[in-house]
Amino acid sequence: MAGPKIHVTGPYLEGKGSFTLQMRQLTDAEDARRTVEYWIAEGATSFKAYMNISPDELAAAVKVAHSHGLKVTAISAPIGFREGRCSWHR
- pLDDT for the residue 83: 45
Cα(16)–Cα(53) distance, integer angstroms: 7
pLDDT digits (tens, 9 = 90+) for 45-76: 999 998 889 999 999 999 999 999 999 998 75
Nearest Cα to Cα of residue 47 among 55, 20, 39: 39
Q: What is the pLDDT of residue 76?
A: 58
Whether residue 82 is predicted with pLDDT greater than 60 in this model: the reply is no
Q: Where are the domains of the chain?
A: 29-86
